[in-house]
Structure 1
Amino acid sequence: MKITYLDLKNWRNFKAAKFALQSRMFIVGPNATGKSNILDSLRFLSEVADPQGGLQRAISSRRGISPIRSLFARKDPEVMVRVQLEHEGTAWDYALAFKSGKARDAVVVSSEVVKKGAKVLLSRPDGDDDKDAERLSQSHLEQVTANRSFRELATALTSIRYLHVVPQLVRESLPSTGSAKDPFGRDFLERLASVPDKTRKGRLKKIEKALQVAVPQLRQMDLVRDVRGTPHLRLRYHHWRPNAGWQQEEQLSDGTLRLLGLLWALMDKGGPLLLEEPELSLHSAVAAKVPQMMARVLQRSDRQVIVTTHSADLLGDEGIAPEEILLLTPTSDGTRATVGADDEEIRALMAAGVPASTAVLPRTAPENIAELDTVSLDSPG
């Protein structure tokens, strides 16, 4: 499944934003312009489509509609997320709009439209909604009794995966939240252990080879269970003591754990993969190789990968095209989203061989960044 277009209205930083998405996409912009919020709009639809989630749960997990609705919305109370996607040769168009209801904390569907190709399969509110307004508390996307004609779309949206591994959660082996979509690594080792042995061993062997490049001292990697059945990642390093023991995940560096999580996610099968700043804790030389890792994934599985980043090393890859860049710019009327290929300056620079790190990143620096040099950090008194 590939998301080809995203249209946002009054979603957090964005009063209005419309842009095309490629199989590989890099979202860049200054701090607090909404890079994470773009990923969250796709996570939101995925949660709505999940039969164990739904609209109300997706809203409540974000602390209600108020934090979601853009501060730039002014008189228009409606929030809308619309996607166009391709799945198994079929073009889909799904739009969900919602607003506050009459009851406290209530959220109601103001519009829900599903198109398959040129055919409209659903357009709400409909006559049944007019007769029973309570129906508007749920989307049809989340209801198996209502989404029969477009269940393929619902299934595709639930396949979206967001990943932002927090090494400390992996080390502490915290119990699973019960969600199959935990993005922070709480149940990362359980997820590895649940994969069939042959598949897991094959992936870990490939990851081991990749880690040996980034961590030359690494000798061997394995996954084992302790006496309580809890899975543990263990690694052995080349050492001055030839029979030195294994180290487990709590002894591994942040960078090693994050790189391992990134490599596993890229090798995993599924729908679009949303990655939050994958360069964190990685050596600059390793971060520079992430785009090529993504490219190899696309060649093998055609899985879509959408990334937020601040990294000049990552964006220095010469294979990145201007249409794979989404530049976010703060304005007095909300954040503006521009695809690199639609910006004349970026397009011209990258056509001349200038990498995205040089053509785009300077545009993301705060206007008055030099003033930081004059800020006094002396303690008062």
Structure 2
Amino acid sequence: MIITRIKLENWKNFADVNVNCGKRMFLIGPNASGKSNFLDALLFLRDVAQYKLGHAVALRGGMKSIRYINARQHPDITIALTIDDAWKYELTFGTEKGKQVPIVIREIVKQRTEDKWKRILSRPNEEDENDPLRRTQTSLEQINANIKFRELYDFFATIQYRHILPQLVREPKAFSPAPVTNDPYGRDLVFSIAKTPENIRKARLAKINAALKAAVPNFEDLQVVRDNDGLPHLQVKYSHWRPQGAKQQENVFSDGTLRLLALLWSLFDADGPLLLEEPELSLHDGVVALLPGIFARIDKGRKKKVRQIFVTTHSTSLLSDPGIGSNEILRLEPGKEGVLVHSADEQERKLMQQGLTVADVMLPKTRPENLQQLSLF
């Protein structure tokens, strides 16, 4: 399943967004233009599904932190998705006057049957009128209420965000003594790899080892080992001047090695949308240029269903890949009425059809105005 359309109203720095999506999307724009906030709208629905509406709002600092700052006459927030052109889910939420507890203003679920959309949930309903407390919860988060669209619940629960911080992978206990699961920054990366069933783990690591061997000199034999206390570690053998090579574990891997390893593992890890923040960090430009192709090849090699990828990036090298289509780009542009999200226009599409790349055609439009003034600092 993939998200084919995203609509946002009054979400963070987006007043009104309505865009189509494919299975691979690259988000570009100036710093602080809202690329991470765009991804966070998808994560928000995951958190609503896995926890509850109030918890998802609290994680982000409350309604004031997530409501578009210039929302006045219509302050409610809407996140609406179309999935596989088979499901539509819309959640509009807000607060009552003088209160901070978020409540459901509108929740709608539609399913396509043949050529028609059938509404299978519409809130508020009579039960909400009889018990206003029900509006503090979405039907999505309630097992007894989402039975008719459990497929959506399962899909939202698989959404993953990854922005690996190498230092957290090397020393997870230094930052969090208690165990952490599904950490977007990598504190549980080694444990999550180690707990994967052995046959699946070995097959994935073999593919990752082949990719890393091409990117990291003398890198080979990636595997999971355990120390005397039974704790798992990633271990490789570097072939160099020693006859038998030298074994090293993740605590001495370079930043680039850890980020690339984590990125490749994430591509295999689940079925739902994968949200990647600037995967080019710490990587050589030559490796970065290959990432779009790696995404495509690994996706084709997956035994599971297609995995949708959203990538935020500033990288000229990554966006110079001629295989990136004009329909795979969302360009964010800050404006007086919130951030605008542009797909490629007709002229941009024509230029790319003639052989120019996203880096040639669309990336220059993300350059901040008056950037030359920075050199005067």
Aligned pairs for 1:134-145 within 5 A: 134-145=133-144
Supply the AA of the counterpart residue of 2:143.
V
CA drift of 1:324 comes to 0.3
- Residue equivalent to 1:31: 31
2:220 alignment partner, SS class? strand
Distance 1:306 1:23 in 2: 8
Question: Do residues 324 (structure 1) and 319 (structure 2) align?
Answer: no
Supply the AA of the counterpart residue of 1:54.
K
- Residue equivalent to 1:192: 193
Q: Contact 1:162–1:181 at 8 Å: present in 2 too?
A: no
Distance 2:74 2:270 in 1: 40
The equivalent position to 1:346 in structure 2, one of 345, 348, 356, is 348
CA drift of 1:73 comes to 1.3
More moved, 111-120 vs 211-220: 211-220
Aligned pairs for 1:360-379 within 5 A: 360-375=362-377
Q: 1:237 to 1:179 in 2, by over 3 A?
A: closer
- Residue equivalent to 1:169: 168
Q: Provide TM-score, normalisation by structure 1.
A: 0.93
Q: Contact 1:176–1:186 at 8 Å: present in 2 too?
A: no
The percentage of counterpart residues that share the same residue type is: 45
Aligned pairs for 1:1-381 within 5 A: 1-50=1-50, 53-86=51-84, 91-102=86-97, 104-117=99-112, 118-174=117-173, 180-300=181-301, 301-340=305-344, 343-375=345-377
Q: Contact 1:6–1:81 at 8 Å: present in 2 too?
A: yes
Q: Contact 1:315–1:355 at 8 Å: present in 2 too?
A: yes
Q: Deviations over 1:178-209 (max 9, x none)?
A: 66532111111110011111111111111111
Q: Alignment length, in residue pairs? A: 368
Q: 1:151 to 1:166 in 2, by over 3 A?
A: same
Q: Contact 1:297–1:303 at 8 Å: present in 2 too?
A: no
Distance 2:203 2:299 in 1: 19
More moved, 291-300 vs 326-335: 291-300
Runs of 4+ in 1 over 4 A off after TM superposition: 175-180
Supply the AA of the counterpart residue of 2:64.
S
Distance 2:150 2:97 in 1: 30
For structure 2, list consecutive stretches of 5 or more residues without a partner in the other structure: none
Distance 1:298 1:37 in 2: 26
CA drift of 1:241 comes to 2.4
Distance 1:146 1:178 in 2: 32
CA drift of 1:105 comes to 3.0
